[in-house]
Each structure stands twice: as C-alpha cells, then as structure tokens.
Structure 1
Amino acid sequence: MTESESRASAVGPLSGEKVRHGTGVNSNRAFPTDSYPYNLDPFVLFEQFYIDPDNGFPMHPHRGFEIVSYMIEGAMEHEDSLGVANTAYENDAMRITTGSGIRHSEFPADGQACTGLQLWVNLPQAEKDADPDYGDATADTLPTAEQGGATVTTVIGEGSPISLHTPMEYLDAAVADTWTWSVPEGWSGFLYGVAGDGTVEGQPFTAGDVLPVTDTRSVTLQSDDSLRVVAVSGRPHGEPIRQRGPYVL
C-alpha cells in the first residue's frame, strides 16, 4: 500500500464520479476519482458503463494489465486481434489479458442498450509482456451459493472458470438481510453498489457508491431494499501503477 493509499484507508462510502468517454459511452467510475484519487493496488480502476445502441468502443489497443467485464443488463459484443468474437449476456463475464498488447472492440448487442462493470487489474512488472489472452464464462458456469444473509456468485475465485495472473476474488452479492464480507490478510479491495439501498458498517450505501478497503478487516452490510453489491479483493503487487490512457506501464 502506498503512503497516499494508507492516508485514505479509513474513508467511508463515497459516491462514484460520472465519466463520459470520447466514444459517447457514459460511466460511473468508482476509482480513481477526484474524491478518491488513488488506485487500489493491484486494481487500476473500476467503473460501471452504460452503452446506448448507437455507441460503443471501436477497435482500440491495450497493454500491461488484465480486464474483467461483467454484464449487468443487456449484452455486449466483443471482438479482438486474437480473432475472438463473443457476446456476453446478463451475468456473463469476460477476461482479457492485454499483456504485451491486444486490440479489441465493445458494442451493445441486439440493437439494445447495455450496462456492465469493468475492472482493470495490474500485471506485475515481470509479467507485463505476457502473451495476450482471452477467456469468458457464462452465468450458469459461475458458482452461486447462500452465504448468511446473501446469495453470492463467485465471478473470480474458488470454483470460477476465470482466473487472472493476480490472486484475487470477485463476488456478486444480493444482500437480503445482513451479510459480512472479509478481506484476506494482506489484501486490499472495495465494495461497489450495483442496485438497491442499505448500509455498510452502519453508513448509508446505495447504487453507485464505493467503499475502498486497504486494510484487513470484515465489513458488515445490511440491506434496506434489495441491495446488490460486488465485493472485490486481491493481493497487492507492491509496485507503482502507472496508467497512460489505454496502457498500464
């Protein structure tokens, strides 16, 4: 954890920041933002995107990190320079290892708008030049189980067919009552509100909010109205994160 992240480790829930990409795509960015101008090693950025039928991301390059896209509503078409073409539907996930370099495009499918979540995960310096790669998982292949007061789907982690170069866990939790999320020792992560309302550690938490967690602890969530969150944690690399547009150096 960097010194700046250490100073910010005690923050409570924060609102995301609206971002409009040059291609006409709107997003709610959880971090880095003006109110939380930090990465969360090993995570570079996280946002919820909203793509109208006539917009999208034309073919563009990336390198130096991994991308996890998780669909919330609608469907998104992916094509890349590896020759992969796939359409991800609601609760499907895609993973791209950009490594030494890849080009890809993302557009709404079926003439309908779509929304989803996108996470950028840094690659350690020793693996920045890894071969680019792609993987995906449909909703029915992601393990789902009852955990206390929540129904939890493991997008990345034990039982998921998707893995990254960085040890991490990505959970989609529909909280019906009270649910406790624990960050493993030495890891960092965040909670993001997808839908509904509730509380996190007794503080209001709603769709579009984020709670950064840079210390090892358990966080208690309480649902007021069908609270859905994603809970993401990973093992830091302990290396600087240097983002330059579509590249992470």
Structure 2
Amino acid sequence: MSGTGPIPGGRVRHGTGVRSTRAFPTEEHPDHLDPFVLFERFYIDPDAGFPTHPHRGFEIVSYMLEGGMDHEDSLGVAHTAREGGAMRITTGSGIRHSEFPADGAACTGLQLWVNLPRDRKEVDADYADAGADDLPTAERDGATVTTVVGEGSPLDLHTPVEYLDARVDGAWTWEVPEGRSGFVFGVDGAGTVDGDPFGVGDALPLTEARPVDLVADDGTDPGGDEATAAEFRVVCVAGEPHGEPIRQRGPYVL
C-alpha cells in the first residue's frame, strides 16, 4: 500500500452491542497489515460489553482513552484499565476473557491485534498491564509523545512493535523504522498527514520505512477568523512483518 493516501475508518457493530471505528480490515482497506491483524477504536456503552469469550494465536493491546474497562480472564486476572493505561494479552495457545465498562459509565479506547509468528502460536497465554504513569511521555520537536509499546514501556510483545500516542502541536515528523510496516490513526482533532487532510477515524497504512509529516490545524477558519483548534492527536504504530499469512477466524488467528 505504499503511496496510498489516508482512508476513512469503517463502522463496525459487534454482536454484543459494542460500536467500533476500524482502521483495517475494512471495505476501504480489506487486507491485514502484517504483522497487524486489526486495529479499531471501540465505544462501549454502560449496558454493553464483551461477555467471556475465547482467543488464541495473537496478542492484544488495549489502550484506554476515556473511562475505565474491567477485564477478567481464565488466568485468574481481574483488572480495571483506566484512561491512559494499557493492557497486553498474549492469547497464545488459548485464553478466555471478558471486557465491560467500569463504574456503570461508558468507555472508549483503542485495540490492536498483533499476529504471533508461526513458531510461537502455542506459547502460554500471558497478561500484563501498565497505568498511565507507567508509560513514558516525552516532549519531542512538535509533539508530546507517549510510548504505549516500545522503548521505555513496561509492555512488550513477541513481535518488535513501536506504538506511539502523539499530541501534535504545530508540526511533527514520525520516522517509520527500517524494515517495518504500520499505520497512522486519527484519535482527536484534525490536521494533515503528508499534506493530506486527516481527521478522527482516518488511517494511513504504511509498508515501508520513511518519514511521515504531521501538521495540526492552526485554528484559522476559511474566512480568516481565529477559531479554537482542537488538539490533533494520532497514534503511530509500526511493527516487524513476519512474512506469513494472517488467517483470522473470528476470535482466532490461525
């Protein structure tokens, strides 16, 4: 998909009543993005959620944007992830878990599925979490960047992955690491990515190492009057491809 511009996210409604904006796979981008199986922003209303269900063959990173989400699993883990916190689940040979909004209030977050390489499909299931204070945040030239997965984060995966939450103030350039593929996803506000308009739910798939230029809207409307610019917030994710087919069968990645 090198050279492809931004694509709008697809709307998904899960059978449990949970709504999502999915970056891929969608009608606009029907393929997986090796090593990534899917990526979406979920919205869980107070009366919705995911009852206990199985997974195997991949890893899950859930990163909370607003509210809290209660997680329980067959490993005996019970944890509530709060805004700015993240959970990593290695489903491996199999795990069962549930996800529901905490405290009777709605929640929203981001969920990434990362394929496990063929020789690690049957690893033991595992779980880890990190609160907002555990994830490193640094001021970079043009952005404030939190590392969800990658250098300095306590969360790691069986696949080398860089997962950044960037709040762009002005202009910032993200360098896709050599030998990796990935994507940019719009979380809040608006701006441009490589000169193309980019907003909430938009995605830019990337399949080669290169710089990606992100610029926040300056808050000026077309009539020239000053307006309040919403924060331009994106996530930038890149991982090392496995070079293996991704065979998703519902909650399983074979």
Q: TM range, normalised to the smaller chain?
A: over 0.9
SS of 2:12's equivalent? strand
Is the aligned partner of 1:91 residue 2:96?
no
Tell me the equivalent position of 2:210: 217
SS of 1:126's equivalent? helix
Tell me the equivalent position of 1:232: 237
Query: How far apart in 2 are the matches of 1:26 and 1:62?
Result: 20
Aligned residue identity for 2:48: N
Tell me the equivalent position of 1:118: 111
Query: How far apart in 1 are the matches of 2:118 and 2:27?
Result: 27
Deviation at 1:221, TM superposition (A): 0.2
Aligned residue identity for 1:234: G
* Count of matched residue pairs: 242
Query: How far apart in 1 are the matches of 2:140 and 2:7?
Result: 26
Instruction: Pick the structure with greater CA Rg.
Output: 2
Query: How far apart in 1 are the matches of 2:161 and 2:81?
Result: 22
SS of 2:190's equivalent? strand
Query: How far apart in 2 are the matches of 1:15 and 1:190?
Result: 13
Cα offsets for 1:211-243 (capped at 9, x unmatched): 001111100000013100000000000000000
Tell me the equivalent position of 2:67: 74
SS of 2:133's equivalent? helix
Aligned residue identity for 2:244: E
SS of 1:110's equivalent? helix
Tell me the equivalent position of 1:174: 167
Map of 1:74-223 to 2, 5 A cutoff?
74-223=67-216
Deviation at 1:11, TM superposition (A): 1.0
SS of 2:84's equivalent? coil
Aligned residue identity for 1:243: Q
Using structure 2 for the length normalisation, give the TM-score. Answer: 0.95
Aligned residue identity for 1:26: R
Query: How far apart in 1 are the matches of 2:117 and 2:57?
Result: 9
Query: How far apart in 2 are the matches of 1:50 and 1:26?
Result: 5
Query: How far apart in 2 are the matches of 1:25 and 1:37?
Result: 21
Deviation at 1:131, TM superposition (A): 0.1
Runs of 5+ unmatched residues, structure 2: 218-228
Tell me the equivalent position of 1:61: 54
Cα offsets for 1:80-120 (capped at 9, x unmatched): 00000000000100000000000000000001000000000
Query: How far apart in 2 are the matches of 1:33 and 1:128?
Result: 25
Tell me the equivalent position of 2:221: none
Aligned-pair identity (%):
72
Runs of 5+ unmatched residues, structure 1: 1-7
Deviation at 1:9, TM superposition (A): 2.3
Cα offsets for 1:168-200 (capped at 9, x unmatched): 100000001100001111100000000000000
Is the aligned partner of 1:9 residue 2:2?
yes
Cα offsets for 1:138-176 (capped at 9, x unmatched): 000100001110000000001000000000100000001
Query: How far apart in 2 are the matches of 1:207 and 1:219?
Result: 17
SS of 2:245's equivalent? coil
SS of 1:82's equivalent? coil
What is the aligned counterpart of 2:34 among 29, 33, 41? 41
RMSD of Structure 2 on Structure 1 (CA): 0.5
